[in-house]
């Protein structure tokens, strides 16, 4: 069982701070340790007073826990003053805990209570210890006047700015993730009508939980989905303010955020879905396309990495003609402009490709689109485009391409979430030795290169592989 520390304030109403964090950690079967920085007198909509916990007691709480309750993650909320900042920074410097630490730099409660006036300079001794900080828009403005570089210069590695206070989108609440030296990402959660207390605390606690298991981008994705589910499911309200009661992992794609490299003003128009993809060979020449069309394959992709200019264009043009004649769902990898020009059935794009492709032009041209994904955040990027299918990979190690291996467990998990919404296909290291276990996931389709192109008898291999699909 994992142990998570919350270093935060006690809310007499039991809604936010330590109470909110404890609810989240308990829900995920973690042991919670409570390190109080302050005691506050609050109700659901009213604040009266705050009493700081003195430095010695703060130190004692940290030290006594270290012996028997070492943390696997830490969530930090209200810090009252520079003295507390220095106590915690000293503790973290002395004990190299090497665990994820999430800091939610709360300045004041929704009920009105001001917790602190800590500036970026005041927080400086602590900032380098954080895995990520999660200010809301006002707190972000307070800390660095919206100048992210200023935050990075102090040692902050990642910032997740919760945009609930900043209306920029018709359909969504938009949050922004800034990680040093990486392109910014925007997380779009569908607006819910309920007025909910303690969403900020709960989000950062969820993030601490998911950082135990996931890389940062996927942990943020999972935390958002779980919070959306919790908001959707709560029916408990006091005076019109909803209280979050239950937390769990969401398996409903509707709870997951739409993630994008730019702000989306509204939900996108869906691409038309593909027919079931079945056996989906990915090949690198016109010759292979012609051969496989003749062997009765009904979905094909041309993936050319060694041609350019006129030669490339002619190859794609010929493939489109062949596949059109054989009534094949034919996808062009990477070259979306040529797919549009020659009216291919679809394009297949990877995560880097979609950052530079003109998705609207593909949509307008009536060309379908498939998108590669290798984790939760990437399938939320795909979902924001509402594509024709989603590819999941690499399921197993492969010599065809250097790529992240996700394994069968993830395939099973993601198929459960995605299958009701999209045609799916699995890719990466799939052949006769494992195709049956892959298909047991209910993914429906398998894309492959070497199982056909490097087979001793490609025709026999293709016929045997086709027999796994009842199309």
Ligand X SMILES: Cc1nc(C(=O)O)sc1CCOP(=O)(O)O
Ligand Y SMILES: Cc1ncc(COP(=O)(O)OP(=O)(O)O)c(N)n1
400 binds ligand X (CB under 6 A): yes
Q: Does 90 bind Mg ion (CB under 5 A)?
A: no
Among 151, 427, 438, 446, binds ligand Y (CB under 6 A): 427
Using CB atoms within 10 Å of the CB of residue 14, give its burial: 0 to 12 exposed, 13 to 18 middle, 19+ buried: middle
Min dist CB 428 to ligand X, Å, is 3
Alpha-carbon span 2 to 28, nearest angstrom: 9
Provide CB contacts within 8 A for 418, sequence distance 6+. Answer: 253, 379, 390, 392, 424
Per CB under 5 A, the list member of 273, 307, 353, 419 interacting with Mg ion is: 353
CB closer to ligand X, 120 vs 282 = 282
Could you say whether residue 425 binds ligand Y (CB under 6 A)? yes
Residue nearer to ligand X on the CB measure, 78 or 274: 274
Q: What does the block give as tokens for 360?
A: 């609207």
- Could you tell me the CA-to-CA distances from 406 to 373, 380, 426 in Å, in that order? 10, 16, 11
Query: DSSP code of 322?
Result: H
By C-beta, is 259 or 452 nearer to ligand X? 452
According to DSSP H, which parts of 258-374 are helical?
A: 286-294, 309-325, 336-341, 351-356, 359-364
Q: Which of 47, 205, 333, 384 binds ligand Y (CB under 6 A)?
A: 333
Rounded CA-CA distance 395/405 in Å is 6
Closer by beta carbon to Mg ion, 13 or else 359: 359
**What is the spatial distance between Cα 392 and Cα 384, in angstroms, rounded to a whole number?**
16
Instruction: List CB contacts of 6: < 8 A, sequence separation 6 or more.
Output: 18, 21, 22, 25, 32, 33, 34, 35, 74, 75, 76, 77, 205
CB 283 within 8 A of CB 449: yes
Beta strands 47-52; 31-42: pairing state: antiparallel
Q: Token pair of 11, please?
A: 């809310």
Task: Tell me if 393 contacts ligand X by CB under 6 A.
Answer: yes
449 near ligand X, judged by CB under 6 A = yes
Q: Which is nearer to ligand Y, 86 or 400 (CB)?
A: 400
Burial class (CB in 10 A: 0-12, 13-18, 19+), 380: buried
Smallest separation (angstroms) from Mg ion to the CB of 351 = 9
- Residue from 7, 206, 282, 381 binding ligand Y (CB under 6 A): 282
Instruction: Look at residue 450 and give the partner it binds from ligand X, ligand Y, Mg ion, none, a contact being a CB closer than 5 to 8 Å depending on partner kind.
Output: ligand X
Q: Does 444 bind ligand X (CB under 6 A)?
A: no
| Angle, CA of 69, 74 and 75, to the nearest 5° | 135
When binding is defined by CB under 6 A, the residue of 3, 32, 110, 301 that contacts ligand Y is 301
Contact stretch for Mg ion (CB under 5 A) within 5-13, 98-106, 114-122, 334-342: 334-342
Q: In whole angstroms, how close is the CB of 30 to ligand Y at the nearest point?
A: 35
**Are 339 and 367 in contact, with CB atoms under 8 Å apart?**
yes
CB of 324 to ligand Y, least distance (A): 20
CA–CA distance, 348 with 341 (Å, rounded to integer): 15
**Could you say which residues in the range 363-422 bind ligand Y, by CB under 6 A?**
370, 372, 391, 393, 401
Q: Least distance (Å) from ligand Y to the CB of residue 66?
A: 44
Element (H, E) at 173: strand 172-179
Stretch that binds ligand Y, among 24-32, 69-77, 223-231, 346-354 (CB under 6 A): 346-354
> Which span (48-56, 142-150, 227-235, 343-351) binds ligand Y, by CB under 6 A?
343-351
Verify binding: residue 334, ligand Y, rule CB under 6 A: yes
Size of the site for ligand Y (CB under 6 A): 18
Partner interacting with residue 400 (select from Mg ion, ligand Y, ligand X, none; CB below 5-8 Å by kind): ligand X
Q: Which residue is nearest to Mg ion (CB)?
A: 350
350 binds ligand Y (CB under 6 A): yes
What is d(CA 288, CA 290) in angstroms, rounded to the nearest whole number? 5
* Per-residue CA distances from 453 to 217, 291, 331, 401 (Å): 35, 11, 17, 14
Q: Is 39 in the site for ligand X (CB under 6 A)?
A: no
Site for ligand X contains 450 (CB under 6 A): yes
* CA distance linking residue 78 with residue 304, whole number of Å: 54
* Residue carrying structure tokens 């892959």: 438
- Which of residues 75, 229, 303, 368 is near ligand Y by CB under 6 A? 303
Q: Which residues of this chain interact with ligand X, rule CB under 6 A?
A: 372, 393-394, 398, 400-401, 403, 427-430, 448-451
List residues near Mg ion by CB under 5 A.
334, 350, 353
Q: Which residues bind ligand Y (CB under 6 A)?
A: 280, 282, 301, 303, 333-334, 348-350, 353, 370, 372, 391, 393, 401, 425, 427, 447
């Amino acid at each position: 069982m994992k142990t998570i520390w919350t270093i935060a304030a006690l809310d007499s109403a039991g809604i936010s701070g330590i109470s909110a964090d404890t609810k989240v950690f308990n829900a995920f079967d973690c042991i919670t340790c409570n390190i109080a920085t302050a005691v506050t007198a609050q109700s659901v909509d009213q604040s009266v007073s705050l009493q700081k916990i003195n430095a010695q007691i703060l130190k004692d709480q940290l030290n006594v826990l270290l012996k028997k309750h070492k943390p696997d993650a830490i969530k930090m909320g209200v810090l009252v003053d520079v003295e507390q900042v220095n106590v915690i920074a000293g503790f973290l410097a002395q004990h190299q805990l090497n665990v994820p630490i999430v800091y939610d730099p709360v300045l004041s409660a929704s009920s009105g209570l001001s917790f602190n006036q800590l500036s970026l300079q005041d927080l400086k001794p602590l900032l380098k210890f954080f895995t990520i900080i999660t200010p809301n828009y006002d707190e972000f403005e307070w800390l660095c006047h919206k100048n992210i570089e200023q935050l990075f210069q102090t040692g902050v590695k990642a910032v997740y700015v919760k945009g609930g206070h900043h209306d920029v989108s018709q359909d969504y609440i938009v949050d922004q993730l800034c990680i040093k030296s990486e392109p910014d990402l925007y997380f779009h959660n569908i607006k819910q009508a309920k007025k909910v207390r303690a969403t900020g605390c709960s989000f950062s606690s969820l993030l601490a939980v998911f950082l135990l298991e996931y890389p940062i981008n996927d942990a943020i994705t999972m935390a958002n989905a779980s919070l959306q589910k919790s908001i959707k499911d709560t029916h408990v309200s006091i005076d019109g303010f909803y209280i979050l009661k239950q937390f769990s992992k969401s398996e409903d794609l509707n709870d997951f955020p739409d993630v994008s490299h730019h702000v989306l003003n509204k939900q996108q128009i869906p691409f038309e879905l593909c027919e079931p993809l079945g056996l989906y060979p990915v090949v690198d020449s016109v010759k292979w396309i012609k051969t496989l069309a003749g062997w009765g394959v009904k979905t094909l992709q041309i993936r050319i990495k060694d041609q350019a200019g006129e030669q490339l264009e002619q190859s794609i043009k010929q493939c489109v003609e062949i596949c059109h004649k054989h009534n094949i769902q034919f996808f062009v990898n990477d070259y979306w402009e040529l797919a549009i020009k020659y009216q291919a059935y679809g394009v297949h794009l990877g995560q880097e490709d979609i950052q530079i492709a003109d998705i609207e032009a593909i949509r307008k041209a009536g060309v379908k689109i498939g998108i590669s994904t290798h984790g939760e955040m990437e399938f939320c990027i795909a979902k924001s485009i509402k594509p024709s299918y989603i590819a999941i990979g690499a399921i197993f190690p492969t010599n065809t391409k250097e790529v992240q291996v996700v394994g069968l467990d993830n395939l099973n998990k993601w198929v459960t979430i995605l299958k009701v919404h999209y045609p799916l296909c699995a890719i990466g290291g799939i052949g006769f030795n494992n195709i049956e276990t892959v298909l047991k996931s209910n993914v429906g389709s398998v894309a492959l290169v070497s199982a056909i192109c490097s087979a001793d008898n490609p025709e026999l291999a293709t016929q045997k592989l086709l027999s796994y699909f009842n199309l």
